[in-house]
Amino acid sequence: MKAKLLLCLALIFSIHLFASEVAANRQPQALASIWKFINYPRSNAPEFLISSGKQWNQVSRGLRLDIMSIQQGFWFLKTNAITARLYRANGEIVEPTAEGKGLLNAPTSISSAAVLPDGGYAPQVMTYFPWGPNALKEAWIAVTIGPERYWLEIPYGFDRNPGDPLPPAAPGGPPTFARSMQSLAEHDHLVQWQNVDYDLGQLENGRYLSLKQSNPFDANSEVVLYKDPGQGSWQSWSLFSPRTVVRLLDTGGTEVNGRCVNLHLGNDGLRRTDTFYIVDRGAKNTRCWGRIEISVDDQTNQVTVPSSLYKYTHGHALTNTPAKL
């Protein structure tokens, strides 16, 4: 009788643990909201990439800028310097860090995909900038290569150290151009950011989840599901399983359900991209933080993002465009 009682208690305890695990799996998982990359269009040369350093655990080194596919080639860099300066919303002009200055004109070669017309290779360089104030402010980086100058747009909330506590909401509308951009010339080029990458980690069975967030006018969330062929089945993704759902949770209490507008399966079958359209027409004169909630079947994750990634027209500096831009 005693043995039966102990067996019953063990079964009850096991059922309780299983129910707790199921409930935990259904709860939104808190994620480190440190972004990985700010991506820029790759159709033109040179190519640009800004990163937080999260993937190398080097956030303290500052804001990293990579300049790739430099068409002028190695011979140009032997006699000419590349310059890069960061322009903050308060008018401050910032030089690269001491380490960044040394790296900016230390070119390295890249893959054979960057072959120049003369048969040489297009070099790449990198640099670092010190993190700015812990505030929701936009910034610009001006990169000069020869006579050409490229103005890289940085959405507000990404000039700050992502390892710092989140700053509070503040008054402010869509981003604006830097003061130094009011009189641009023929050789000035505006380069708008395309999307921001967040790595949301591993799901199960060698499957990984990431987010590419853009905000051309209304926000777009590209949910990327990836299979590591070394950790699981080679079987291709299905377009309809698992099911993904995206929801925006604004700090003001607004909840917006994303509308799925596209399901895309990569040619190798290892990557599936589900695109959601998010329309948030709330108060435009406030900059704040929101959470993007991504559900993959019964597993839900959340990532915290600045409103530059989802508020209507807060993604790009669209008004008061410099006349010669």
Query: Is the separation of the CB atoms in 226 and 286 below 8 Å?
Result: no
pLDDT digits (tens, 9 = 90+) for 127-160: 999 999 999 999 999 999 999 999 999 999 999 9
206 backbone φψ class: left, alpha, beta (φ>0; ψ -120 to 50): left
How large is the average pLDDT for residues 26-34? 52
Please state, for a pLDDT cut of 90, what percent of the chain lies above it.
55
How large is the average pLDDT for residues 236-243? 88
Query: Is the separation of the CB atoms in 199 and 210 below 8 Å?
Result: yes
How large is the average pLDDT for residues 248-269? 90
The residue extents of the domains of the chain are: 37-191, 196-309
- Domain 196-309: top CATH class: mainly beta
Query: Is the separation of the CB atoms in 28 and 15 below 8 Å?
Result: no
Burial of 267 (0-12, 13-18, 19+ CB in 10 A): exposed
10 Å Cβ neighbour count for 315?
A: 27
Look at residue 291 in the predicted model and tell me its pLDDT. Answer: 95
Angstrom CA distances, 322 to 19, 91, 168, stand at: 60, 17, 31
**DSSP class per residue in 16-43:** HHHHHHHHHHHSPEE------EEE--SS
For the record, the structure tokens of 164 come out as 């710092």
Highest mean pLDDT among 27-41, 96-110, 149-163, 227-241: 149-163
Highest mean pLDDT among 26-40, 118-132, 160-174: 160-174
For the record, the structure tokens of 203 come out as 């799901």
